[in-house]
Amino acid sequence: MSILYLTFLLVSLAGVTALDVRHRLFLGRDPRRALAVLGIGVGFFLLWDLAGIALGIFFRADGPFATGILLAPDLPLEEPVFLLFLCELTMVLVCGAERMLAHRRKELP
């Protein structure tokens, strides 16, 4: 049992969130709406995972870097953290790209 993977996920999530808040991209711009979007996104993907597990499509592979803690059969503790990181990173990239494109449009004559 190791917490290495979970630690890397949490550190990565903290880094992306710090950039987000610093540059007011997603959580930093409208926290209430952003938290709702993150909750919906994580909830959707958790339901997707649970459906895949129930259908025998998804399964947990034992790894040396995982905690081994399961929230449900074949649903490791790291999965919701990964999904939160994935949703946050996606929204930061989308909001950052929108900002960059808007800035470029202002520069063009």
Tens of pLDDT along 65-99?
888 889 998 899 999 999 999 999 999 999 999 99
Q: What is the pLDDT of residue 23?
A: 96
The yes-or-no verdict on residue 107 having pLDDT over 80 is: no
- Annotate 72-105 with DSSP letters as a single string: ETTEETHHHHHHHHHHHHHHHHHHHHHHHHHHHH
pLDDT in tens, 50-65: 999 999 998 777 778 8
Tell me which of 108 and 30 has the higher pLDDT. Answer: 30
- For residue 109, is pLDDT > 90? no
Torsion 62-67-69-70 (CA) sign: negative
pLDDT for the residue numbered 1: 66
Q: What is the pLDDT of residues 7-50, one digit of tens each?
A: 999 999 999 999 999 999 999 999 999 999 999 999 999 999 99
pLDDT of residue 68: 84
pTM for this one?
Answer: 0.89
**Cα separation, 19 vs 63, whole angstroms:** 30
